[in-house]
Amino acid sequence: MAPSIAAPTAPTWKWPRLRARPVLLSLAFSVVVGLSYGTAVRLDQLAYGSTLPASRAYVWELTGALCAWLSMPLILAAGLNAPSPRVGWARFLGLHALGYALYGTVHILLMMGTRAPIYWLMGWGAYDYGPLAFRLPMELQKDLIVYVLVVCFQVLLNAWREQHARTLRAVELEGELREARLQALTGQLQPHFLFNALNTVSSVMYEDLARTDKLLSDLGQLLRASLERREATWTLAEERAHTERFVSLVTARFGERVVVRWDIASGLEHVRVPSFALQSLVENAVKHNEDRREPLEVRLRARSEATGLRLEVEDTGRGFGATSPARGHGVGLSHLERVLALLHDGRARMERGRGPEGGARVTLCLPRQEAA
């Protein structure tokens, strides 16, 4: 059997959603317009010596403005359902012509219906709308101006809302992408480090059970932080604890060949820093100097400055530019630079330099607001 082709569905009619604040604002605007027009008509009466009471001019214009306000949902409905001219001029013009005719008819009928009882209450006698041949063209041309202005405002407001929504979606998407990239860059441990750590644990497990238990605990917590950590920053105290677990596994493997010294200024424990930043810098220093016979000293410092927070990792190894035994890409300085760029939008920087013994020195300068 041939596949059935579904008949095109007719477009559903949409009704404008009326919210309290816009409705009240448009009501206030209509009252202001009515009073303004009433004042203009009264001044015209006085200019020509009219004996009509002042209240009559304000009744005319206020009822006209308020009845236009009551009829405005018809304009909004027509503007909401009329397609763009690029889609179809026939439906576009047809709906607006129908909407304008309906709006004008309802507006005039409402005016006549409200002015008649007001005239009776004010003691002015029966309300006379005047010759229709002159009154209708006058009212309809004013209604046409109101109709066009409201539709144009509606179109511009909808365009602004759509652009605002697209901007919000783009910002949300950028934030999600940035978070995904940060999660991909942070929380990674070098595969060769894991293999070496397991080998180290294997070599001591029959000699020192307590030490083996401590190493396995440190390795487990390192892996848990690497796999479960979802935030791109944490406190400096958490970063130090994580790095010390990493250092314990490194020193278990290299013994006295690797020494790590801490110099953290007091009061910085709760400052937020990029996750795994110090650990990756220590790992980088060890990786590029693991073939050296001389002892390697790694110094970690943290200081608060006027412009923010300064983290520094310095070693006594071969320094930048020298031939390194390290292979592969891993989570190195380039990855850490990308993390800083994603986190701080160019307000943080990484400085590479030479230590006093000729080794490498890496300094992270974080912006003040991120270190507060």
Entry pTM = 0.51
Question: Residue 26's pLDDT is what?
Answer: 92
For residue 252, what pLDDT is reported? Answer: 84
Among candidate residues 312, 339, 350, the one with its CA nearest the CA of residue 231: 339
pLDDT of 77 higher than 70: yes
Q: What band does 111 get if pLDDT is binned at 50, 70 and 90?
A: very high
Torsion of CA 291, 293, 295, 298, to 10 degrees: -20
At 217 the pLDDT is: 87
Q: Which pLDDT score, from 0 to 100, does residue 3 have?
A: 47
Q: What is the pLDDT of residue 64?
A: 93
Compute the mean pLDDT over every residue in the chain, rounded to the nearest whole number: 84
H-helix segments, 2-86 = 20-47, 54-81
Higher-pLDDT residue of 233 and 228 is 233
Greatest CA separation found in the chain? 117
98 has a pLDDT exceeding 60: yes
Query: Does residue 17 carry a pLDDT above 90?
Result: no
Give the model's pLDDT for residue 191: 63
In tens, the pLDDT along 249-267 reads 888 888 889 999 999 999 8
Q: pLDDT for 175-193, tens place per residue?
A: 655 665 555 555 555 666 6
Q: How far apart are CA 334 and CA 340, in angstroms?
A: 10
Is residue 36 predicted with pLDDT exceeding 90? yes
Q: Which residue has the higher pLDDT, 52 or 69?
A: 69
Residue 106's CB is within 10 A of a number of other CB atoms, namely 17
What is the rounded average pLDDT of the residues 193-204?
74
Banded model confidence at residue 330, pLDDT cuts 50, 70, 90 = very low
Mean pLDDT, residues 19-47 taken together: 92
pLDDT surpasses 90 at 110: yes
Domain limits of the chain?
20-182, 186-371
Q: What is the rounded CA–CA span in Å between residue 90 and residue 96?
A: 10
Q: What is the mean pLDDT of residues 352-365?
A: 92
CA 26 from chain centre, in angstroms, equals 30
Express each pLDDT in 278-320 by its tens digit. Answer: 988 998 898 888 888 889 999 999 999 888 899 999 999 988 8
pLDDT of 176 reads 58
Domain 186-371, CATH 3.30.565.10 — does that match? yes
* Amino acid sitting at position 147: Y
Above pLDDT 90, what percent of the chain? 38
